[in-house]
Amino acid sequence: MLKDKKILLIISGGIAAYKTLELIRLIRKNNGTVQCILTEGGSQFVTPLSVSSLSGNQVYSDLWSLNDESDMGHIRLSRDNDLIVVAPASADIMAKMAHGMANDLATTTLLAANKPVLLAPGMNPEMWENTATQVNITTLKERGVMFTGPNNGEMACGETGLGRMSEPEEIFTAITDFFFEKPLKGYTALVTSGPTYEPLDPVRFLGNRSSGKQGYAIATALRNAGANVTLITGPTNLPDPQGMTITNIQTANDMLKACTNTLPVNIAICAAAVSDWCVDAPSAQKIKKTDDNNIPKLRLKQTPDILKMISAHPKNRPELVIGFAAETQNLEKNAKAKLKKKGCDWIIANEVGIDENGIEKTFGSDENQIYFITQDQNEKWNRASKDAIAQKLVQQIINYMDKNNGS
């Protein structure tokens, strides 16, 4: 996604510097190049070794380094890069920027820069609210400096308020927003993901092996493309992706309600592994094991078919509805039949089960191999990471939306 994009990342002093390591990882994972300047304050929180290992580049910190400055490092660093990101941006570095000070490598590079600058402030709420800081921010904004955050929340110092640095994913989104026009800007999307848990009693449930990874990756790729995303997810172990609305549910019925409340949307992707059955009358109390070996009989009933409901919605059918088919056999044939039965536009079919090496092919794996099936297309996509599959799918969605909305 950030191929050929070069970012100069300045890490100034603040506890949030540790989160910047994750930002470096995100930039590189998305094929961007990152060079880092670590200020003296920054190096109190993260080490040059971790920054250079993650960035894959030398770390710069010394204005008076004979080696680096023999070719004018403080000039070259901004000339060689497309965007300068300061994360965390401390109150001190912003004050120096606002007043044109240049007494270390970071501030000298910023003063000599000919590239746009994005700041991710991170500091104690009182420091943030301080008039001196606010005046500096106004000055910097007037000069065209871009900002992301800060967020409201609990600080490392124990105080609560505005001052938490944006999360790495939010800074990453601000970076991609800078580089790219968002093709799905203005579109709304609903993604269902993960398993559902259907209770037998207050402690037991019927569930499945879905990890939610593919659905989360799709929601993230849609968000990166500019869509306004609602992720409706069953229980997973994944961290919440930033920059979207997340609704956590347990049962198929909850998921149906959440989806109904989210409609209308332009795009619906049902990646969830919804349980096909739930217990007819779950017990309000824990079902007890009895001495006479009386094994309880479960009466199951069908859960609502959410994909079918969305596809057939009389008033609010999305422009594009995409379902998933997890099959253990006759994958293509069953998926094609499912496309018809569910009334959706596309089916993403994947084989589930254990491969010849004893490894789970889809559920829980970081990789997936899918068939992309529409009324008149049936494409086998190469096995790839779930992120890569999500990005490819979102590209198909962008093409579809462009075609159907006449742009």
> Computed from CA positions of residues 51, 63, 81, 225, in that sequence, does the dihedral angle turn out positive or negative?
positive
**Least Å from the CB of residue 326 to ligand C5P:** 7
In 255-340, the DSSP E strands lie at 267-270, 277-279, 300-302, 320-327
**Least Å from the CB of residue 258 to ligand C5P:** 12
Nearer to ligand C5P, 68 or 305 (CB): 305
Annotate each residue in 237-266 with x if it binds ligand C5P (CB under 6 A) or - if it does not, as one string: ---------------x--------------
Residues in 62-121 that interact with ligand C5P by CB under 6 A? none
Cβ neighbours around 137 below 10 Å, total: 20
Distance of CA 109 to the CA centre of its chain: 31
If one asks whether residue 323 binds ligand C5P (CB under 6 A), the answer comes out as yes
If one asks whether residue 331 binds ligand C5P (CB under 6 A), the answer comes out as no
Determine contact, residues 105/37, Cβ cutoff 8 Å: yes
If one asks whether residue 306 binds ligand C5P (CB under 6 A), the answer comes out as yes
170 sits in which H/E element = helix 168-179
If one asks whether residue 272 binds ligand C5P (CB under 6 A), the answer comes out as yes
Among 68, 82, 92, 305, binds ligand C5P (CB under 6 A): 305
Nearer to ligand C5P, 48 or 343 (CB): 343
**Least Å from the CB of residue 191 to ligand C5P:** 10
If one asks whether residue 218 binds ligand C5P (CB under 6 A), the answer comes out as no
* Tokens 């800007």 -> residue: 185
Determine contact, residues 396/372, Cβ cutoff 8 Å: yes
Nearer to ligand C5P, 184 or 325 (CB): 325
Q: What is the CA radius of gyration of the chain?
A: 25
Query: Helix, strand, or coil here: 378?
Result: strand
Distance of CA 304 to the CA centre of its chain: 29
How many residues form the binding site for ligand C5P (CB under 6 A)? Answer: 15
If one asks whether residue 307 binds ligand C5P (CB under 6 A), the answer comes out as yes
If one asks whether residue 362 binds ligand C5P (CB under 6 A), the answer comes out as no
**Least Å from the CB of residue 309 to ligand C5P:** 8
User: Is residue 270 among the annotated active site residues?
Assistant: no
The whole-angstrom separation of Cα 163 and Cα 332 is 52
For residues 343-358, one letter each, b for 16 or more C-beta atoms within 10 angstroms of the residue's C-beta and e for the rest, the string is bbbbbbbbbbeeeeee
Among 270, 320, 352, 394, binds ligand C5P (CB under 6 A): 270
| DSSP β-ladder status, 378-380 and 370-373 | antiparallel
Nearer to ligand C5P, 17 or 271 (CB): 271
Which window, 86-94, 230-238, 297-305, 312-320, contacts ligand C5P (CB under 6 A)?
297-305
If one asks whether residue 397 binds ligand C5P (CB under 6 A), the answer comes out as no
Annotate each residue in 143-182 with x if it binds ligand C5P (CB under 6 A) or - if it does not, as one string: ----------------------------------------
Candidates 36, 157, 270, 344; catalytic one: 157
Question: In the numeric block, which tokens belong to residue 385?
Answer: 């990471």
The whole-angstrom separation of Cα 346 and Cα 321 is 7
Using CA atoms, how far residue 140 sits from 10, 29, 79, 329, 387, in Å, is: 16, 30, 21, 60, 36
Which window, 1-9, 75-83, 303-311, 361-369, contacts ligand C5P (CB under 6 A)?
303-311
Positions touching ligand C5P (CB under 6 A) are 192, 252, 270, 272, 274, 276, 303-307, 323-325, 338
Query: Could you give the residue numbers annotated as active site?
Result: 157
